[in-house]
Amino acid sequence: MTLKLFIQAIIKFTLGVVLVGALIFLPAGTFDFAGGWLLMGILFVPMFIAGVVMMFKSPSLLASRLDAKEKEKEQNIVVKLSGLMFILGFVLAGLDFRFSWIKLPFTVNIAASVVFIVAYVLYAEVLRENVYLSRTVKVVEGQKVISTGLYGIVRHPMYFATILLFMAMPLVLGSVISFVVFLAYPFIIAARIRNEEQVLTRELDGYEEYKQKVKYRMLPFIW
Domains and CATH numbers, the chain: 3-213 (1.20.120.1630)
Q: What is the pLDDT of residues 189-220, one digit of tens each?
A: 998 898 889 888 888 888 899 999 999 998 88
Q: What pLDDT does residue 50 have?
A: 84
What pLDDT, on the 0 to 100 scale, is given for residue 30? 97
**For the whole model, what pTM was predicted?**
0.88
pLDDT in tens, 60-93: 777 766 666 666 667 778 888 999 999 999 999 9
Question: Per-residue pLDDT for 157 more than 80?
Answer: yes
Long-range interactions of 218-223: CB distance < 8 A, separation 24+: 218/154, 218/155, 218/156, 218/157, 218/159, 218/160, 218/163, 218/193, 219/154, 219/160, 220/153, 220/154, 223/190
